[in-house]
Amino acid sequence: MANRTPAQPRKPAHTGVVKAVLGPTNTGKTHLAIERLCAHSSGAIGFPLRLLAREVYDRVCAIKGTENVALITGEERIEPKGARWHLCTVEAMPSRPDLAFVALDEAQLSADPERGHIFTDRLLHTRGREETMLLGSSTLEPMVKALVPEAEIVTRPRFSTLSHVGAKKLSRIPPRSAIVAFSAEQVYVMAEMLRRFRGGAAVVMGALSPQTRNAQVAMYQAGEVDYLVATDAVGMGLNLDVHHVAFAGLSKYDGHRQRRLTTAEMAQIAGRAGRHQRDGTFGTLAGAGGHDPEFTDDEIYAIEEHRFAPLTRLYWREAEPRFDSITALIDDLESFPPLPQLAMPPQAIDLAVLKFLAEDPEVAASVRGKGLVQRFWNVCRLPDFRQQGSETHGRFVARLWQDLRAGYLGADFVAQAIAQLDNPSGDIDTLQARIAAIRSWSYIAQRPDWVLARDEMAARARAVEARLSDALHARLTERFVNRRTTVLMRKAGADAGLLPVRLSDEGALLVDDEPIGHIEGFRFMVDPLARAEDRRLLLAAAERHLPGLLAARAGALIQAATQPQGLEFEDTALVWESHVIARLERSRRLLDPRLRPDPALDRLSASDKACVITALEAWLAHHHARTLAPLIALDEASRDPASGPELRALLLHLVESGGVLAREDSGLERLDPTQRTRLKKLGVRIGALDLFVPAALRPAALQSWHRLARVYARSGHVPAPLPPEALQPVVHTSIAPAGYRRLGRESLRVDLAEKLLHAAHATRMSTKARRVFLDPAVARSMNLSTAAYAALLRAGGFRVHMGQALPDKAFGPPQPPLWDWRPQRPSPHADPVPERIPSAPQTGAFAALAALVAR
């Protein structure tokens, strides 16, 4: 390293103009590049992803015809004879001076540690004969000015605004949303949850075949599903009708370590929300994993305002090294950059493989002469699709080199290697390994100087990759529908991980038929009678397989949550199979409580726990929608500005009091006729003494409201007690239960109280006399005493006076003294229930109350 001198910069030979079109996402940069490409007689665009190249290839084919358009990627080549327009990945871009137009998409990736040196080389040296276009983020502007001073910089503003809306539960994610995850397993977990609770979701991943990916996108774009689950590949230019982007996490594994996304990466993904003139939103997914990810204030400001720190350096590596020897090749690849704006990248996998194999004397001895050194370097550049590291990947490259150093790979040999991978059966890990392997063979089959019958072998590899990708998609989906409850393995010596583990019908956990404990809910309880000498080994085996057993329990719980009677309440706790799994907690609104999972659920994996929580929240929402529909309607109307402040306040009080509100405390007199009409349409009965919702007085509704009211009540405030389940007309309690009106030592249901008062006023109106006789038989049939009935009438505007009953033919001869009532104007502040009410004699069916209508 000490003797190496910086490489000399190369100047690109071009005569056309160079434009740098910079700006945030949703500025139409890619669309502009496609228009310029089609406007020229020939050209090429380099994209960062194979999926994006394929998408634009389909669009250009629709304009120019498939016979004139080429698709060139590391794993797929469609090159019609005489094709003039080329859509490529950046690594596969042709270096041809005869192309009239050249564009580089996502040029800011020149600062990426893995692939940045490739983007930098294209940025510095690839030019079109008539026009060159560099597309990227505004952060690239200082580097363009320094490295490409002749470029005309065009800044494009975003067409729409992007706003942060905070964290949302998966059940509250709006339609036309994209959920972005950072692992294949997390992607499919989210897709399965959405399929179970929202009808389905499309899936977009870089590992899918183009056919599978296109089918998924078409399903989403056609509106067959309203949700899209994708990896961060969605941030690279895929133009979809997405209104909201929800991040399932804010960190990812970059090949070296788990790290938080950079602000620019966050913006790249969030920018998929809102297309053209439609504004978009972004946020995080509440409850995804062990803790809820959230953006910092600085990150939110940067994303919404599109303000990011400018790039200060780009990664560079010599693109035209010397091939005199392996040593000269390595020296050139590790040479210092020629300009201060450029920096040496971390050691890439191809250089690591080259140095690893150069240390093998047998391999090094087989590489002699410029031709073989260059061919050997091309073999070392085979991508590590299996992500196995430089040594393991290097051994595969060494075996490949043994066959390639003397010539071509035979068609039979390549066909046999591809056929061995053409097996869509197996578990998820097996399918993932096969897809990675077939991608390697797809890359190999694209090389015209490596494989005989290249076109046929490439077509076979693409077909196998498509079948394996579809099989993987089906297998991962099935995993979250039909999860196996246990894994039985044969015994193998003292390896505890291979001992058979099963759960008995009684819930006992058996390891090699030895009981070591039992599972209660999601808690593992150790059996104290387990053999002491084997306890350590057996517990280790149980710990190894316990996650699988708990996952099965989680699946059963999720299935139970799909049934109305699958779960039940005990007080404010949610119970499944007699075990508490969650508790209600107070939130800002009475009818929308939070659900706090039981700590025992922490034993589940992050994905299983998220599925369980989502299932519990969905069950709770359905339960409340079934039992509290009248109050939910009132609550929604109370938040509608069109209701007016007076009606909104009244409705809010009705909800908080369980659908019953004393008329004198309701503020009813402040409502205008329109508001009264709307109140009645909401199912509220306006009675003489109370406002009430008849549908809210049913047992299930009262129980649900009372539970939420106790959760919502602050310290010192206790809601009215719950009435008996039978809801009998009259109860004898010191405090009136919910839905009842207190009358002395008795309490009467408010709907029945209204019925009695309505009958009394109907009698008054029919006789039109100053004094009327009321038969208390109906009240007594409700088990209401005459004294309490009199108290009810007094509260309704009547006054009682002791006197002689008036003779009347309908009632026979005069009866003993009863209540004789005279006019009174009831005070709204007076207690209508006297402490002691004289008992009136009851003389059979003709006993009556003499009542005088209050004026």
Select the more confidently predicted residue: 347 or 840.
Answer: 347
pLDDT at 281: 93
Q: How far apart are CA 676 and CA 647, in angstroms?
A: 8
- pLDDT tens for 310-335 read 999 999 999 999 999 999 999 999 99
Cβ partners under 8 Å of residue 223, min gap 6: none
pLDDT > 70: percent of the chain: 80
What is the reported pLDDT for 14? 56
Judged by average pLDDT, the poorest of 164-178, 470-484, 716-730 is 470-484
| Residues written for the chain | 855
| Neighbouring-strand partners of residue 221 | none
d(CA 692, CA 750): 8
545 pLDDT exceeds 80? no
Closest CA to 45 of 21, 23, 67: 21
pLDDT-derived band at 124, boundaries 50, 70, 90: very high
Q: How far is CA 389 from the centre of its chain?
A: 33
Q: Are 350 and 443 in contact, with CB atoms under 8 Å apart?
A: no
Closest C-alpha among 463, 474, 470, 457 to residue 422: 463
Look-up of token digits 């039979």: 412
Q: In the chain, what percentage of residues exceed pLDDT 90?
A: 27
Kindly state the average pLDDT of the residues 204-230. 75
Angle between helices 29-39 and 50-64 (to 10 degrees): 40
> At residue 805, what is the residue type?
A
Cα–Cα distance measured from residue 796 to residue 571, given in angstroms and rounded to the nearest whole number: 37
The one-letter code for the residue type at 139 is: T
Query: Where does residue 249 rank: exposed (0-12), middle (13-18), buried (19+ CB within 10 A)?
Result: buried
Query: Kind of pairing, strands 251-253 and 202-204?
Result: unpaired
User: Would you tell me how many other CB atoms lie within 10 Å of the CB of residue 511?
Assistant: 23
| CA–CA dist 271, 162 (Å, integer) | 7
Query: What pLDDT was estimated at residue 716?
Result: 57
Of 590, 179, 112, the closest CA to residue 316 belongs to 112
The pLDDT of 177-206, averaged and rounded, is 80
Task: Provide the pLDDT for residue 553.
Answer: 85
Q: Is residue 201 helix, strand or coil?
A: coil
Which of 105, 43, 107 minimizes the C-alpha distance to 70?
Answer: 43
Task: Give pLDDT, residue 151.
Answer: 93
pLDDT at 219 over 60: yes
For 193, counting Cβ atoms within 10 Å of its Cβ (0-12 exposed, 13-18 middle, 19+ buried), the class is buried
**pLDDT computed for residue 513 by the predictor:** 62
d(CA 163, CA 702): 41
Strands (E), 693-817: 730-731, 740-743, 746-749, 771-774, 802-803
CB 274 within 8 Å of CB 162: yes
Specify the pLDDT at position 515.
66
Phi, psi dihedral angles at 93 (to 5 degrees): -60, 135
CB-based contact 352:387 (threshold 8 Å): no
pLDDT in tens, 735-770: 888 889 998 889 999 999 999 988 888 887 887 766
pLDDT reading at 481 higher than 60: no
Check whether 475 has a pLDDT greater than 80: no
* pLDDT exceeds cutoff 70 at 535: no
Fill in the DSSP letter of residue 722: P
Query: What is the structure's pLDDT at 491?
Result: 38
SS3 track for 404-443: HCCCCECHHHHHHHHHHHCCCCCCHHHHHHHHHHHHHHHH
The answer to whether the beta carbons of residues 650 and 679 sit under 8 Å apart is: yes
Look at residue 529 and tell me whether its pLDDT is greater than 60.
Answer: no
557-575 burial: b if 16+ Cβ within 10 Å, else e: bbebbeeeebbeeeeebbe
CB 51 within 8 A of CB 210: yes
Decide: residue 713, CB within 10 A, 0-12 exposed, 13-18 middle, 19+ buried: middle
Per the listing, tokens 């996650």 go with: 547
d(CA 68, CA 70): 7
Residue 292 has pLDDT above 60, yes or no: no
CA angle 759, 762, 763 (to 5 degrees): 90
Q: What is the pLDDT of residue 775?
A: 76
Higher pLDDT, 537 or 165: 165
CA proximity to 741, closest of 782, 712, 774: 782
Q: Which contacts qualify for 352-359: CB closer than 8 Å, 24 or more apart?
A: 352/390, 352/394, 353/380, 353/390, 353/393, 353/394, 353/397, 354/326, 354/329, 354/330, 354/380, 355/330, 356/390, 356/391, 356/394, 357/394, 357/397, 357/398, 357/401, 358/326, 358/327, 358/330
The amino acid present at 733, given as its one-letter code, is: T
Rounded to the nearest angstrom, the gap between the alpha carbon of residue 188 and the centroid of all alpha carbons in its chain is 11
What average pLDDT does range 809-822 have in this prediction? Answer: 39
* pLDDT at residue 330 in the model: 92
Phi, psi of 284 (to 5 degrees): -110, 170
Q: What is the mean pLDDT of residues 91-116?
A: 91
How high is the mean pLDDT of the chain?
80
**What pLDDT is attached to residue 234?**
74
CA geometry: angle at 18 spanning 16 and 19, to 5°?
140
Highest mean pLDDT among 208-212, 289-293, 661-665: 661-665
Q: Which residue has the higher pLDDT, 277 or 810?
A: 277
Which residue in this structure is represented by tokens 């209701």? 643
Q: Which residue has the higher pLDDT, 718 or 538?
A: 718
Q: Comparing 536 with 697, which gets the higher pLDDT?
A: 697
Q: Give the model confidence (pLDDT) of 35-55 as tens digits.
A: 999 999 999 999 988 878 888
Predicted confidence band of residue 543 (pLDDT cuts 50, 70, 90): low
What confidence tens digit (pLDDT) does each residue in 264-274 have?
A: 889 888 888 88
- Cβ(154)–Cβ(41) below 8 Å: no
CB of 434 closer than 8 Å to CB of 468 = yes
Comparison of pLDDT for 847 and 79, the residue scoring more: 79
What integer pLDDT is reported at residue 118 of this predicted model? 94
DSSP 8-state assignment for residue 799: B
Residue 104, classed as helix, strand or coil, is strand
Considering only CA atoms, which of 825, 809, 743, 823 is closest in space to residue 779? 743
Q: Residue 194: count other Cβ atoms within 10 Å of its Cβ.
A: 25
Q: Comparing 610 with 481, which gets the higher pLDDT? A: 610
Rounded CA separation 790/132 (Å): 95
Strand partners, 517: 509, 526
Q: What are phi and psi of 96, to 5 degrees?
A: -125, 120
Q: Tell me, what's the pLDDT at 71?
A: 94
Tell me the sheet residues that pair with 685: 692
Query: Which two tokens mark 695?
Result: 């549908």
Spell out the residues 6+ positions from residue 598 whose beta carbon is closer than 8 angstroms to its own.
521, 522, 580, 581, 582, 583
What pLDDT score was predicted for residue 506? 67
Gap between the Cα atoms of 249 and 186, Å rounded: 10
- Whether residue 852 is predicted with pLDDT greater than 70 in this model: the reply is no
